[in-house]
């Protein structure tokens, strides 16, 4: 990275670890992922002045069709987690305005049915498929530059899952 790229700010973001009654975690495979078999939990940018929980519920509804009536908040991460984009992605994502993301994470329990999950709730959709996985597998399915964040989220929420 050049010095100017290191000077870019982090994009404010929220992520949601959505767990079902069996303790499995929702992951979706991004439509725009050219790297192949990488999955992620719902996440997205926060609007200026937007509350973390409101942003998390909005992102969850947009990416999965799951609304606040089908998801119960269990916990919020104590601190923001940061990650830097790989050098080749800086300048290509988010209009080149950010070096990575700073994320608060929410742990939510899904109380709906699988048939209620709707990846096309938002146009355009972000995920092309989804599945429930064992929480311990999260660091294995995410793109490499987000592994540290996923390990930290898992560590913080593990006892509550």
Q: What CATH number corresponds to the domain at position 73?
A: 3.90.79.10
Range of the domain at 86: 3-160
How many structural domains compose the chain?
A: 1
Give 2 or 81, the one with higher predicted confidence. Answer: 81
The tokens describing 101, both together, are 């993301």
Give the pLDDT of residue 43.
Answer: 96
3-state DSSP helix/strand/coil % of the chain, to nearest 5: 30, 30, 40
pLDDT tens column, 81-107: 999 999 888 877 788 899 999 999 999
Least Cα distance to 71 among 124, 19, 133 occurs for: 19
**pLDDT confidence of 134, banded at 50, 70, 90?**
very high
Residue 153 to residue 16: CA distance in whole angstroms: 10
Average pLDDT score over the chain: 92
Give the pLDDT of residue 108.
Answer: 98
């Amino acid at each position: 990275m050049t010095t100017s790229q290191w000077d870019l700010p982090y994009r404010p973001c929220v992520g949601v670890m959505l767990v079902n009654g069996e303790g499995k975690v929702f992951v979706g495979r991004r439509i725009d992922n050219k790297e192949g078999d990488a999955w992620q939990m719902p996440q997205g940018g926060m609007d200026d002045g937007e509350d973390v929980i409101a942003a998390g519920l909005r992102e969850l509804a947009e990416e999965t069709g799951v609304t606040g009536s089908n998801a119960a908040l269990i916990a919020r991460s104590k601190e923001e987690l940061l990650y830097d984009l790989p050098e080749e992605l800086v300048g290509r994502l988010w209009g080149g305005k950010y070096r990575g993301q700073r994320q608060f994470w929410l742990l939510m329990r899904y109380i709906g049915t699988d048939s209620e999950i709707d990846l096309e709730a938002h146009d355009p959709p972000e995920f092309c498929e989804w599945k429930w996985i064992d929480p311990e597998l999260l660091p294995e399915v995410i793109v490499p530059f987000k592994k540290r964040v996923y390990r930290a989220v898992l560590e913080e929420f593990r006892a509550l899952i």
